[in-house]
Amino acid sequence: MKQRRVFLAVVLSVLILSCSIFPCLAEGTDPAAEPPAADNGSQLAAFFKTLDADAGFHMRYEMEIMGYNSIYDDQAKGDYFYERNYIEQLGSSDSDSLKVYRDGKMYTMRKSDMSGIYMDVPEIEDFHYYGALFCTIYQSCFGHIQDPAYEKIEYTVGETTFNAEKYLAQSEYGVDQIFCFDENGSLAYMINCANESLSLGEYIYKIDAIDDVVDETLFDISGYEFTDYKTALEEATAALEKLAG
Protein backbone atom coordinates (compact mmCIF):
# COMPACT_ATOMS: atom_id res chain seq x y z
CA MET A 1 0.00 0.00 0.00
CA LYS A 2 2.82 2.40 0.86
CA GLN A 3 4.53 1.77 -2.47
CA ARG A 4 1.27 2.41 -4.29
CA ARG A 5 0.81 5.72 -2.47
CA VAL A 6 4.35 6.75 -3.37
CA PHE A 7 3.74 5.81 -7.00
CA LEU A 8 0.52 7.84 -7.10
CA ALA A 9 2.31 10.79 -5.50
CA VAL A 10 4.96 10.73 -8.19
CA VAL A 11 2.41 10.42 -10.99
CA LEU A 12 0.34 13.30 -9.64
CA SER A 13 3.40 15.51 -9.27
CA VAL A 14 4.25 14.87 -12.92
CA LEU A 15 0.71 15.82 -13.97
CA ILE A 16 0.81 18.99 -11.90
CA LEU A 17 4.18 20.00 -13.32
CA SER A 18 2.89 19.34 -16.83
CA CYS A 19 0.19 21.95 -16.30
CA SER A 20 2.74 24.63 -15.42
CA ILE A 21 5.79 23.60 -17.47
CA PHE A 22 4.28 22.73 -20.82
CA PRO A 23 1.24 24.95 -21.50
CA CYS A 24 2.87 26.30 -24.66
CA LEU A 25 3.55 22.77 -25.91
CA ALA A 26 0.01 21.66 -25.06
CA GLU A 27 -1.36 24.48 -27.20
CA GLY A 28 0.96 23.56 -30.06
CA THR A 29 2.85 26.85 -29.97
CA ASP A 30 6.56 27.48 -29.92
CA PRO A 31 8.42 27.95 -26.63
CA ALA A 32 9.00 31.53 -25.57
CA ALA A 33 12.27 33.08 -26.67
CA GLU A 34 14.49 35.19 -24.41
CA PRO A 35 12.44 38.09 -23.02
CA PRO A 36 13.40 41.62 -23.99
CA ALA A 37 14.83 43.96 -21.37
CA ALA A 38 11.45 45.52 -20.56
CA ASP A 39 9.29 43.97 -17.84
CA ASN A 40 6.14 44.78 -15.92
CA GLY A 41 7.96 46.43 -13.00
CA SER A 42 6.70 43.80 -10.57
CA GLN A 43 8.46 42.34 -7.56
CA LEU A 44 8.51 39.08 -9.49
CA ALA A 45 10.41 40.72 -12.34
CA ALA A 46 12.92 42.21 -9.89
CA PHE A 47 13.48 38.78 -8.37
CA PHE A 48 13.83 37.15 -11.79
CA LYS A 49 16.67 39.53 -12.66
CA THR A 50 18.73 37.99 -9.85
CA LEU A 51 18.70 34.61 -11.64
CA ASP A 52 21.60 34.66 -14.10
CA ALA A 53 21.41 31.62 -16.37
CA ASP A 54 24.73 32.47 -18.02
CA ALA A 55 26.63 32.72 -14.74
CA GLY A 56 24.63 29.82 -13.29
CA PHE A 57 21.94 29.38 -10.66
CA HIS A 58 20.77 26.65 -8.28
CA MET A 59 17.31 26.15 -6.78
CA ARG A 60 16.03 23.64 -4.27
CA TYR A 61 12.30 23.52 -3.61
CA GLU A 62 9.67 21.06 -2.41
CA MET A 63 6.00 20.31 -2.81
CA GLU A 64 3.86 18.15 -0.52
CA ILE A 65 1.55 15.72 -2.27
CA MET A 66 -0.48 12.95 -0.65
CA GLY A 67 1.57 13.30 2.53
CA TYR A 68 4.93 13.00 0.76
CA ASN A 69 7.44 15.77 0.07
CA SER A 70 8.56 15.81 -3.54
CA ILE A 71 12.01 17.46 -3.59
CA TYR A 72 13.43 19.24 -6.63
CA ASP A 73 17.05 20.29 -7.04
CA ASP A 74 17.66 22.33 -10.21
CA GLN A 75 20.93 23.69 -11.56
CA ALA A 76 21.53 25.66 -14.74
CA LYS A 77 24.51 27.28 -16.39
CA GLY A 78 24.87 28.55 -19.93
CA ASP A 79 23.46 25.94 -22.27
CA TYR A 80 23.08 23.21 -19.63
CA PHE A 81 20.36 22.30 -17.17
CA TYR A 82 20.05 19.56 -14.53
CA GLU A 83 17.21 18.44 -12.29
CA ARG A 84 17.01 15.78 -9.59
CA ASN A 85 13.60 14.86 -8.16
CA TYR A 86 12.97 12.44 -5.31
CA ILE A 87 10.56 11.70 -2.47
CA GLU A 88 12.03 12.97 0.81
CA GLN A 89 10.56 10.18 2.93
CA LEU A 90 12.33 7.58 0.77
CA GLY A 91 15.64 9.41 0.78
CA SER A 92 17.92 10.00 -2.19
CA SER A 93 18.65 6.79 -4.10
CA ASP A 94 19.60 5.32 -7.45
CA SER A 95 15.91 5.51 -8.35
CA ASP A 96 15.84 9.32 -8.30
CA SER A 97 14.42 10.96 -11.41
CA LEU A 98 17.27 12.78 -13.19
CA LYS A 99 17.04 15.14 -16.15
CA VAL A 100 19.80 16.84 -18.12
CA TYR A 101 19.31 19.32 -20.95
CA ARG A 102 22.30 19.84 -23.23
CA ASP A 103 23.20 20.00 -26.92
CA GLY A 104 19.58 20.47 -27.98
CA LYS A 105 18.34 17.33 -26.24
CA MET A 106 16.50 16.53 -23.01
CA TYR A 107 17.71 13.37 -21.27
CA THR A 108 15.77 11.56 -18.54
CA MET A 109 17.87 9.01 -16.65
CA ARG A 110 17.93 6.31 -13.96
CA LYS A 111 21.12 5.65 -12.00
CA SER A 112 19.91 2.19 -10.95
CA ASP A 113 20.65 0.71 -14.37
CA MET A 114 22.45 3.66 -16.03
CA SER A 115 19.75 3.93 -18.69
CA GLY A 116 17.48 6.64 -19.98
CA ILE A 117 15.53 8.17 -22.82
CA TYR A 118 16.10 11.35 -24.79
CA MET A 119 14.13 13.66 -27.02
CA ASP A 120 15.25 16.37 -29.41
CA VAL A 121 14.22 19.86 -28.36
CA PRO A 122 13.27 22.40 -31.05
CA GLU A 123 16.11 24.81 -31.63
CA ILE A 124 15.56 28.41 -30.57
CA GLU A 125 17.87 31.37 -30.46
CA ASP A 126 19.07 30.80 -26.89
CA PHE A 127 19.28 27.17 -25.80
CA HIS A 128 19.84 27.94 -22.14
CA TYR A 129 16.46 29.66 -21.89
CA TYR A 130 14.67 26.59 -23.22
CA GLY A 131 16.61 24.34 -20.84
CA ALA A 132 15.75 26.55 -17.90
CA LEU A 133 12.07 26.30 -18.77
CA PHE A 134 12.14 22.79 -17.37
CA CYS A 135 12.79 24.28 -13.93
CA THR A 136 9.23 24.78 -12.66
CA ILE A 137 9.97 27.88 -10.58
CA TYR A 138 12.14 29.58 -13.21
CA GLN A 139 9.64 28.82 -15.96
CA SER A 140 6.73 30.19 -13.96
CA CYS A 141 8.58 33.43 -13.23
CA PHE A 142 9.68 33.67 -16.85
CA GLY A 143 6.10 33.31 -18.04
CA HIS A 144 4.77 36.25 -15.99
CA ILE A 145 7.44 38.96 -15.83
CA GLN A 146 5.88 40.92 -18.70
CA ASP A 147 2.25 40.28 -17.78
CA PRO A 148 0.71 43.68 -16.92
CA ALA A 149 -2.41 42.12 -15.41
CA TYR A 150 -1.27 41.06 -11.97
CA GLU A 151 -2.64 41.81 -8.52
CA LYS A 152 -0.64 42.82 -5.44
CA ILE A 153 -1.99 40.95 -2.45
CA GLU A 154 -1.08 39.60 0.98
CA TYR A 155 -1.04 35.82 1.28
CA THR A 156 -0.67 33.66 4.37
CA VAL A 157 1.20 30.37 4.38
CA GLY A 158 1.12 28.61 7.73
CA GLU A 159 1.39 31.39 10.30
CA THR A 160 3.31 33.86 8.12
CA THR A 161 1.77 36.53 5.90
CA PHE A 162 3.76 37.61 2.86
CA ASN A 163 3.68 40.39 0.32
CA ALA A 164 2.60 38.55 -2.81
CA GLU A 165 1.56 38.91 -6.43
CA LYS A 166 -1.18 36.92 -8.17
CA TYR A 167 -1.09 36.12 -11.89
CA LEU A 168 -3.92 34.58 -13.88
CA ALA A 169 -3.53 31.36 -15.88
CA GLN A 170 -2.16 31.95 -19.37
CA SER A 171 -4.17 29.16 -21.01
CA GLU A 172 -6.96 26.69 -20.30
CA TYR A 173 -4.27 24.16 -19.38
CA GLY A 174 -2.70 26.40 -16.76
CA VAL A 175 -3.51 27.57 -13.25
CA ASP A 176 -3.54 30.92 -11.48
CA GLN A 177 -0.27 31.39 -9.58
CA ILE A 178 0.70 33.35 -6.47
CA PHE A 179 4.29 34.35 -5.68
CA CYS A 180 5.18 35.16 -2.06
CA PHE A 181 8.28 37.18 -1.21
CA ASP A 182 10.31 37.44 1.99
CA GLU A 183 11.53 40.69 3.53
CA ASN A 184 14.61 40.63 1.25
CA GLY A 185 12.53 40.35 -1.91
CA SER A 186 13.52 36.75 -2.53
CA LEU A 187 10.90 34.20 -3.52
CA ALA A 188 9.68 32.18 -0.52
CA TYR A 189 6.68 30.29 -1.93
CA MET A 190 4.95 29.72 -5.24
CA ILE A 191 1.33 28.59 -5.11
CA ASN A 192 -0.52 26.86 -7.93
CA CYS A 193 -4.13 27.75 -7.26
CA ALA A 194 -6.93 25.21 -7.47
CA ASN A 195 -8.46 24.60 -10.89
CA GLU A 196 -11.77 22.73 -10.80
CA SER A 197 -11.90 22.16 -14.56
CA LEU A 198 -8.56 20.31 -14.35
CA SER A 199 -9.54 18.59 -11.07
CA LEU A 200 -6.50 20.09 -9.36
CA GLY A 201 -6.37 21.38 -5.81
CA GLU A 202 -4.03 24.04 -4.46
CA TYR A 203 -0.36 23.06 -4.42
CA ILE A 204 2.34 24.98 -2.57
CA TYR A 205 6.00 25.04 -3.59
CA LYS A 206 8.31 25.94 -0.71
CA ILE A 207 11.64 27.44 -1.80
CA ASP A 208 14.44 26.00 0.32
CA ALA A 209 17.49 27.49 -1.43
CA ILE A 210 18.39 29.88 -4.23
CA ASP A 211 22.06 30.55 -4.94
CA ASP A 212 24.72 30.58 -7.64
CA VAL A 213 26.59 27.43 -6.52
CA VAL A 214 26.48 25.08 -9.54
CA ASP A 215 28.05 21.61 -9.73
CA GLU A 216 28.94 21.38 -13.43
CA THR A 217 29.81 17.67 -13.16
CA LEU A 218 26.07 17.00 -12.96
CA PHE A 219 25.71 17.92 -16.64
CA ASP A 220 27.84 14.91 -17.62
CA ILE A 221 25.77 12.05 -19.14
CA SER A 222 28.64 9.71 -20.05
CA GLY A 223 28.17 6.08 -19.03
CA TYR A 224 24.42 6.03 -19.68
CA GLU A 225 22.67 4.11 -22.46
CA PHE A 226 19.84 6.06 -24.06
CA THR A 227 16.80 5.19 -26.18
CA ASP A 228 14.93 7.86 -28.12
CA TYR A 229 11.54 8.57 -26.59
CA LYS A 230 9.54 7.43 -29.64
CA THR A 231 11.11 3.98 -29.48
CA ALA A 232 10.62 3.87 -25.70
CA LEU A 233 6.95 4.84 -26.13
CA GLU A 234 6.39 2.16 -28.77
CA GLU A 235 8.01 -0.47 -26.54
CA ALA A 236 5.93 0.58 -23.52
CA THR A 237 2.71 0.54 -25.57
CA ALA A 238 3.49 -2.91 -26.92
CA ALA A 239 4.17 -4.19 -23.39
CA LEU A 240 0.84 -2.82 -22.14
CA GLU A 241 -1.03 -4.35 -25.07
CA LYS A 242 0.60 -7.69 -24.34
CA LEU A 243 -0.46 -7.51 -20.69
CA ALA A 244 -3.98 -6.60 -21.75
CA GLY A 245 -3.81 -9.74 -23.88
Res 19: pLDDT = 39
CB 118 within 8 A of CB 235: no
Compute the distance between CA of residue 211 and CA of residue 158 in angstroms, rounded to an integer.
Answer: 25
Q: How far apart are CA 3 and CA 6, in angstroms?
A: 5
Q: Within a 10 A sphere around the Cβ of 49, how many other Cβ atoms?
A: 11
Looking at residue 12, its pLDDT comes to: 43
- Helices 2-21 and 136-144 pack at an angle, to 10 degrees, of 30
Predicted pLDDT of residue 206: 97
Residue 129: predicted pLDDT: 57
Q: What is the pLDDT of residue 7?
A: 38
pLDDT block averages, 10 residues each, the chain of length 245 = 43 40 38 59 94 91 90 91 89 80 89 89 58 76 90 96 94 90 96 87 94 95 93 85 78
Q: Is the pTM value of this prediction over 0.85?
A: no
